[in-house]
Amino acid sequence: MVVEDETKLAELLGSYLARDGFDVAVVHDGLEAVATARAVDPDVVVLDLGLPGLDGVEVCRQLRTFSDAYVVMLTARSEEVDTLIGLSVGADDYMTKPFSPRVLMARVQAMMRRPRQPDEADALEGARTFGALVIDPLGRDVWLDGELLSLTRTEFDLLAALAERPRMAFSRRQLIDAVWGPTWVGDEHLVDVHIGHLRRKLDDDATHARFIRTVRGVGYRMGTGQ
């Protein structure tokens, strides 16, 4: 689903997506975006930040109450605060205008290639446990103290990447390669934003982290849960 009030840009993005084999819905304001998302249940939403009706931040906030679609936020403003505001309500990625539609298509295709189910080798490993935290790669579920957590697809992918090699300290670039893909270009602090979301949902303290530990000068690694 493309949500963009600039009609020509919306049509251009829709045509690129259709050419890549996607079924595309194009809408031009925030209220229509929420209603259409409920009706068509999109896999990916390309969402402009500045929209009439409801802005992109509010649309994304409402989407996250009923949809786990990947969300790519588009913004005409390059200030970091705009990016962080968008990601704080559950956007998976962002692009600053002007941008190449081909680059956007590459990012969407990379998202769609993320495995929704693990391969057989992962399935045989079963759930991974870190103290009170249980990560099930087969069902893509995460439990904390026996309660099922509500994670976005990107949050799950990021946590699963850390959990797959729990003794490894990952740099931001390594996590981007694992989750967003090696062709992704942008501000690597995107990783920090999503780590912050995960820590809040895991009730994890960055200073005395049980589950996601900061490795100074490197990046992040999985904690033991203790």
Query: Buried b vs exposed e over 177-193: b needs ≥16 C-beta within 10 Å?
Result: ebbbeeebeeeeebbbb
Q: At 186, is the secondary structure helix, strand, or coil?
A: coil
Cα separation, 103 vs 85, whole angstroms? 22
Question: CA dist 21 to 1, 42, 99, 218, Å?
Answer: 13, 14, 21, 39
Q: What percent of the chain has pLDDT over 70?
A: 92
Tokens of 199: 């820590």
pLDDT digits (tens, 9 = 90+) for 155-173: 999 999 999 999 999 999 9
Any idea which of 36-45, 83-92, 201-210 has the lowest mean pLDDT? 83-92
Using pLDDT thresholds of 50, 70 and 90, give the confidence band for residue 119: very low
